[in-house]
Amino acid sequence: MIIAVSKARWLVMSVVALCLFFGLQSLSKAACPGKTAPYPESVKDLPPITFVREGETRAISLCDAFDFHGHACPGATMAFMAVRYGLELLYGPETPSVDDLIIVTRAPGGPMDLLDLIMKGEDRAKRTWPPAGITRNAENFVFQFYRKSTLQSVIVKLEDGLWPRDWFELRDKFKAGKITDAEQKKRQKDRQSILREFPKKSFSELFGEPEVFTFIAWGNIESGEMDNCIRQQRKAMKSAQ
């Protein structure tokens, strides 16, 4: 009888141990579950951005942002860190709701896709297109976060000197097919460096220590209004060409 009880207890403890083991394994991979793309480990190890949209708590990893964008993106990496920092400064341990949040930026490309994924969802048909005047340069790596419920805001800007100075010049050369082997080698090295190193840096190393301030605002932008304005503007530009 004692032996039977001992065996039963051993069996229960073994099952519990296995559950704990696999549970911990799942948690350790929770940031990028089921991802097969060759993303750097520093990317996979990043905590996700957690928020509420349409009454449901959601978590988006940097791997999710890469998948939505189409590939591993240095700009999306920088923006992911900026969003995590901005939300931490405004909400602390609270889980933010997108209905309580306004985000303003001039950064196109990967940063826009990341913000679409958070604020709009995974429907690629709802992607935001950059309006005229949005240009690609490191000076536009600025993100303004506004929390409506507290009338508090913070501006998160990438520190000077962290982004390669010739990044956009080499990008344009690559797009035009005029990049040299040496320039392409440097471009790839810079890309991999940002993908590997930015996720390892602290928020203050990347963005300094911005202050939270209280704001007053007038006017409003209705849901879909900005997208409609962008479509009309891009249509007018195309007709004028």
pLDDT at 4: 46
Residue 11 has pLDDT above 70, yes or no: no
Tokens read off for 113: 């896709």
CA pair distance 39, 41, nearest whole angstrom: 6
pLDDT of residue 134: 87
Mean pLDDT (the chain) is 86
Q: What does the pLDDT average to over 62-71?
A: 95
**Mean pLDDT for the stretch of residues 87-108:** 97
Q: According to CATH, what is the number of the domain 31-231?
A: 3.30.1330.130
- Given the structure tokens 């320039």, which residue do they identify? 183
pTM of the model: 0.82
Instruction: Report DSSP letters for 188-229, one per residue.
Output: HHHHHHHHHHGGGS-HHHHH--PPPEE--------TTHHHHH
Q: What is the pLDDT of residues 138-184, one digit of tens each?
A: 999 999 999 999 999 999 999 999 999 999 999 999 999 999 999 99
Q: Closest Cα partner for 64 from 41, 90, 93, 44?
A: 44
pLDDT given for residue 33 in this prediction: 58
Q: In terms of Cα–Cα distance, which of 54, 61, 52, 53 is closest to 33?
A: 61
198 neighbors 84 (Cβ within 8 angstroms)? no
Average pLDDT over residues 93-118: 96
Q: What is the pLDDT of residue 30?
A: 44
Question: For the chain, which residues make up each domain, given as ranges?
Answer: 31-231
Torsion sign (Cα): 69, 136, 143, 233: negative
